Chains A and B, each alone.
Chain A
């Protein structure tokens, strides 16, 4: 392939005990979320793409141009990579106004003050910052600062855009709004976008595709829908709020590894499988339930924890699962830690897939 575009990164980095091995392709216009827990290597990945940490093997290409390849002795410095970065905490220059922050990249590229100002004006208006342009970063709210950071990165006309935990510095109340705005702005960017986050909601809302990074390795990769519905590791399942069970399917019946069995919706499946169940798809009962639910088993309540207006109940049994119920249900069923309960779920609520 000659005129490949976007990001093509396939590399390894060793940092003492930790090493990162990664294969990442991002097409122009595509938004890929790299989702992972702390210490998974997300920051290292970002620093490698930007050019702040050199890779030890493999190569990174951006728009077909090699920017890092130790074997070929190529290492392009950050200032020459033309990658726009929205950093965690934004890293706005505290001594410059919003307008000068946004114009910084253009000034660095050699534009005169006047030219840089008028070119960055477009981004100031697009991101609705005109009223704030003479303020200093210290006088901005978190959401405003994030828009300035985005404008500053986009004003350089970058070949790729990287966002590092773009919403983690915001309080919960503004996060939803800013996330919606950000989705809109990312859709407009024509280059490849990589979004690094530990928040599954960011990944699901903002990205087209999710790459899950755990312990320096990619453990799952797929569209946001696939990853959300069919997690392949306990980490993904837990951040997506799903129960993930491993077992063997035979003629529509899944024998679970940790005990118990579940009726699958599809009898054709066989071999090793994963079963994902939403916590709201499981019902709790005081007595053995009558009715259409195909899967019924017994367990002991191990924890009860309020989450928003619902209550998350962990039940140990075969299998052990977490169940979300309403607050009313807790009192109606008289739920308490150590109590025996019956659980039921319909076969059609189970997502069963090869694993």
Chain B
């Protein structure tokens, strides 16, 4: 008899069948995209002005959003992980709000705060002549709002998991707190910084709802890749598919780049 012996790890069919369905459900749309990709005209479509503008704008704004998130998000992560202050729990909860908030609601909230009539935006307008809505900086603001929590949460987790023994050792060697942060803490959490930055960049690149609400959809100014895909659906489907392919490739690159880091943040080595 060549019947294979069953082991404890082979799933019973009530588990195996839905599991297979779930996998197929996740894979089929990707397959659909690949099947319908206009491979023959791909280069031509991607080098059109609309595509190039959207691609350039997306890369620039996502990079800017990542840098801003880095400059203000990492310090916030440190404060959340290491400082004791009243309202820390509230602050931590606040950081996670953009993760669960529908992005379009985020966009409206941004308009109400930073719009020309917004309670902050009106002063930006009257004192400094800064207008954010429907501008490229507005795109960056929308993307930062939605994507920064990824960096903060990743880095905060890493800082909490970091053993303070090395920082104590640095202190006995005469290093002040800023120097310890710069020369010991940051290098030790470097893997998490990279992981957080990549996730932030990927989230910013895919941002749609908050961007279209807060910054609009002006080609060359605020029309990022996801917006161009959306516009393409109405007119030029091939272009929508080609640009979607670009976004898919970026997502895969992020996955490959991070591998299992996202799940093992905080380990220093």
Please report A residues at the B interface, Cβ cutoff 8 Å.
50-52, 77-85, 87, 89, 91, 93-96, 104-105, 107-109, 152-153, 156
Contacts and interface: CB of A to CB of B under 8 A. Distances in A.
A61 to B, nearest CB: 18
A79 B171 contact: yes
Interface in B136-189: 165-166, 168-176, 179, 183-184, 187-188
B151 to A, nearest CB: 21
B48 interface: no
Given A78-B171, A94-B268, A156-B174, 8 more contacts: A80-B174, A84-B172, A87-B165, A93-B187, A94-B166, A95-B190, A105-B174, A105-B175
B254 to A, nearest CB: 25
Contacts of B10: none
B2 interface: no
Contacts of B269: 94
B171 A77 contact: yes
Contact of B174 (A89, A93, A109): A109
A108 B173 contact: yes
A96 B268 CA distance: 13
Nearest to B171: A78
A109 B170 CA distance: 12
Contact of A91 (B169, B174, B176, B187): B169
Nearest to B179: A108
B29 to A, nearest CB: 42
A108 B180 CA distance: 9
A108 to B, nearest CB: 4
B173 A156 contact: yes
A83 B183 CA distance: 20
B165 A152 contact: no
Contact of B166 (A79, A93, A108): A93
In the A-B complex, list the 4 residue pairs whose CB atoms are closest, starting with the nearest.
Answer: A105-B173, A108-B175, A78-B171, A91-B169
A105 B168 CA distance: 13
Contacts of B170: 93, 104, 108
A85 B169 contact: yes
A85 B176 CA distance: 16
Contacts of A87: 165, 169
A156 B171 CA distance: 12
B172 A95 contact: no
A83 to B, nearest CB: 6
Nearest to A87: B169
A84 B166 CA distance: 14
A4 B176 CA distance: 28
B7 to A, nearest CB: 38
A231 B237 CA distance: 90
A95 B188 CA distance: 7
Nearest to A89: B165
Contacts of A96: 187
